[in-house]
Structure formats: structure tokens, C-alpha cells
Chain A
Amino acid sequence: MTVVVSICALILAAAIIIGLVRVLTARDQGSRAVVSDLIYFSSIAIVTMLGIAVSSSVVLDVVFLSSMVGILATIALARILTRGHR
């Protein structure tokens, strides 16, 4: 189990690093917003994999709650893009 989870965490870490490079090199704000969203979901996946690795009993609770509140980050970024207008 540990080997599999480590492989997943490595792939997700690579996704986060690529996303950070993309945030640094992006020219417009919209790209930065959507790549930040990708980094958020990758972090949630890494936390899930960490929970599986240490045999935690709240793995499903973590991914359940974070998938429900994930929209708040995107809505906040969208509101920032339009500077407060709807």
C-alpha cells in the first residue's frame, strides 16, 4: 500500500510543481486563477494519499468536505477577476 500511495503522491507533486511554474510564467490573471484551482485539487488529493499512507480513519471525511467547499475558492477567484461585479 505504501509504495502505491508514494507513486500517487509523487505524480501529484509533479502536477503541483508544473502548476506553480505555469502560475509564474502566465501573463493574464484568468490563467493564474484556473491554475490555482488545479493546485487546490492536487493538494486535496495529496492529503487524501497521506491519510491512506498513515491508515487514518477520516480519509473519506476529508475528501467529502473538501470537495463540497471547493467551489468557494473558485467563486472567490472569479469575483476577484471581475473586481467585485457579478
Chain B
Amino acid sequence: MNETLATVLVGIFGITGSLLLLSSALAMFRVRDSLSRINVFSPATGLGMPLIVVAAYVFDLHASGFDWVSLLMAVVAVLCLIIVSSVASNTLARSAVLSGQPVFRKTSPNRLAQPPVGAEDVEPGTDRP
């Protein structure tokens, strides 16, 4: 792999990944509550960071040649980023809901706050065994 091709590939992957991280940071200003912020954070970890890993792998391929160990490390790093960031976002969203972080008031419908149509509350005390 010659120098020009490596530079172009690192440029494409690296700049796209960096722009995804930057636009994720900009999107943090456009939404109003923490749940939406966790939501718009997933392009950064789901697509932006894997592209950075691919850029690092292309550079490694250019610098030290093909190696099965580095290919395995790159694949495991991408899989870890996708799976681990998904689980981490789940945990963070759950703790944000549990600790009572404010939810944007224009969230509609909000099924965590209001029951679906047709559901009836049972009067407490009447159905106790």
C-alpha cells in the first residue's frame, strides 16, 4: 500500500468519524433533556468511533504490513464499541429515569407518565387479598 492511498483512506475514515463526533456534540444543544441527549449520542459511538478504529487499522496496515493479530484487534474493538456502548446507553438511560432527571415537557405521548387510552386504575385497597 503506497503513501497516497493510505493518506486518502485515513483522511476519509478519520474526517468522517470526527465530523460525526462533532455533529453529535452540536446535537446536544438542539435537544432539551438528558434522555434525548443519550439518544443523539449513539451515532458517535455506533458509527463515529468505529470509523476512527478503521482509520487506525489502515494506518497500521500501511506502517507494519498485514497481520492477523491486528485484524483481530480491530474487529474486536469495533464489536466492543457497538455492543458495549449499547449496553452503556441502556444503563445510563435507566439510571436517568430512576433518579428522576427532568423530561422535556413537550415529550408526547409520554407513556412513562400517562397510561395508554383505555387503561383504568384499580382503586387501591379494593383488590387486596
Contact = CB atoms under 8 A, between A and B. Distances in A.
Contact of B77 (A34, A57, A63, A85): A63
Nearest to A79: B95
> Which of B26, B28, B70 lies at the interface centre, i.e. has the most chain A CB atoms within 10 A of its CB?
B28
Place the interface of chain B in its size category: 35 or more
Interface residues of A, number: 51
Q: Is the interface of A mostly helix, strand, loop or mixed?
A: helix
Contact of B21 (A12, A64, A74, A78): A12
Q: Is the interface of B mostly helix, strand, loop or mixed?
A: helix
A70 B34 contact: no
Contacts of B28: 18-19, 22, 31, 34-35, 38
> Which of A33, A74, A77, A83 lies at the interface centre, i.e. has the most chain B CB atoms within 10 A of its CB?
A74
Interface string A17-61: 011001000011111011101100110110011011001010111
B45 to A, nearest CB: 6
Contacts of B14: 4-5, 8, 49, 52
Contact of B88 (A51, A52, A74): A74
A41 B88 CA distance: 13
A42 B49 CA distance: 9
B99 A83 contact: yes
Contact of B64 (A18, A19, A38, A57): A57
Interface of B: 3, 6-7, 10-11, 14-15, 17-19, 21-22, 24-26, 28-29, 33-35, 37-38, 41, 44-45, 48-49, 52-53, 55-57, 59-60, 63-64, 70, 73-74, 76-77, 80-81, 84-85, 87-89, 91-92, 94-96, 98-99, 101-102
6 contacts: A15-B25, A18-B25, A18-B29, A31-B33, A33-B92, A71-B85
